[in-house]
Amino acid sequence: MRAPITNHTAQEGRIRCHGRILLAEDNLINQHVSVRILATLGLRTDVVENGAQAIQAVQTHLYDLILMDCQMPEMDGLAATAYIREHLDPDHRIPIVALTANALFGDRERCLESGMDDFLAKPVSRAQLGNMIQRWIPGPIQASATGTPVPLPKVILFQPPTMSEASQVKPLFPVLNSRMIQELQDLGGDDVPDFFITLVDQFLTDLPRHLETIHLALNQQDPGALVRAAHTCKGSCRSIGATSLAEVSYELEMIGREGTTEGASEIYARLVVEQDRTREALQKERDQFSQLPVVLKHH
């Protein structure tokens, strides 16, 4: 596990840098996208993976704003926020914005009750995040790296699907969100032209592990593990625009939240199908993008 803060020590004191953001997020794809968006807004970002690391970071640095994922390992964002509000920032109330992939009824209220100030549902676009930063950090936001101004304001053992079962499942959603794919391709700008390629490669590397973790949760008939695994998969999919795979992951997550794994076999069959479709579609987008001349990639 990475250290929460790099290049600084507690002995240096609490360092104040204008436009410094703390991102508490355990999903690697979400980290990549959020940090890149914040960079195009001219903001410096420190990244931590759980609430305990967020608390440690706030103890050693002053931040202008915290983007806090709600569901993280070890300590979630709600508990971390409550601790920060009670113990760490009586004289300097840091704005804390909730990041959640659930957007379920009551989520916003729970976030605000913990001490958070605002709420964003993932995946977050550049415009949404820019508006949120503008709301909570005074002063102008810089243009993006592309030069475009950012808009403001019973026990049943799980059986894996057979290939014949999987091939008969039909998708209900588009494989990819074309608008989101275009935004991610533009996000790298001229300074990080291969950002989209790196992001797709990371996602495709992680995807088999996501399905293996879901499969293991179903084999062990563990609803809690199913929730965590499907939630993680859903978050990565939504952040890269893999619409159909995200929706099937969400269905599995909701089954787990009901305290069961019954009925998940059929849905997992669809997940297998959508994994293959998603991989093919993303690989095609990646290859087409990589063949573009640099001058055309972001224009």
Specify the pLDDT at position 251: 95
- DSSP structural state of residue 177: -
**Cα–Cα distance measured from residue 148 to residue 40, given in angstroms and rounded to the nearest whole number:** 10
**Cα–Cα distance measured from residue 73 to residue 145, given in angstroms and rounded to the nearest whole number:** 33
Q: For residue range 238-249, what is the model confidence (pLDDT) as tens digits? A: 999 999 999 999
Residue 103 has pLDDT above 70, yes or no: no
3-state secondary structure of 121: strand
Question: What pLDDT band is residue 98 in, cutting at 50, 70 and 90?
Answer: very high
Q: Which pair of tokens denotes residue 134? A: 């503008």
**Cα–Cα distance measured from residue 105 to residue 288, given in angstroms and rounded to the nearest whole number:** 40
Q: What pTM does this model have?
A: 0.78
Residue 14 has pLDDT above 60, yes or no: no
Residue 151 has pLDDT above 50, yes or no: no
Q: Tabulate helix, strand, coil % of the chain (nearest 5).
A: 55, 10, 35
Q: For residue range 237-283, what is the model confidence (pLDDT) as tens digits? A: 999 999 999 999 999 999 999 999 999 999 999 999 999 999 999 99
Residue for token pair 């091939």: 167
3-state secondary structure of 2: coil
Please give the mean pLDDT across all residues of the chain: 82
Specify the pLDDT at position 297: 58
Listed range (52-56, 124-128, 213-217) with the worst mean pLDDT? 124-128
Residue 217 has pLDDT above 80, yes or no: yes
Q: Torsion angle, CA of 120/121/127/132, rounded to 10 degrees?
A: 0
pLDDT cut 90: percent of the chain above it: 58
Specify the pLDDT at position 16: 37
Specify the pLDDT at position 66: 96
Q: For residue range 157-210, what is the model confidence (pLDDT) as tens digits? A: 334 444 444 444 444 578 999 999 999 999 998 889 999 999 999 999 999 999
Instruction: Judge contact between 129 and 120, C-beta under 8 A.
Output: yes
Q: Torsion angle, CA of 106/110/116/120, rounded to 10 degrees?
A: -30
Specify the pLDDT at position 112: 83
Q: Which pair of tokens denotes residue 82? A: 């409550």
Contacts of 116 (CB under 8 A, 6+ apart): 68, 77, 78, 81, 96, 97, 98
Specify the pLDDT at position 209: 96
Question: What pLDDT band is residue 110 in, cutting at 50, 70 and 90?
Answer: confident
**Cα–Cα distance measured from residue 122 to residue 211, given in angstroms and rounded to the nearest whole number:** 21
Specify the pLDDT at position 172: 52
Domains of the chain: 10-136 (3.40.50.2300), 163-297 (1.20.120.160)
Contacts of 13 (CB under 8 A, 6+ apart): none
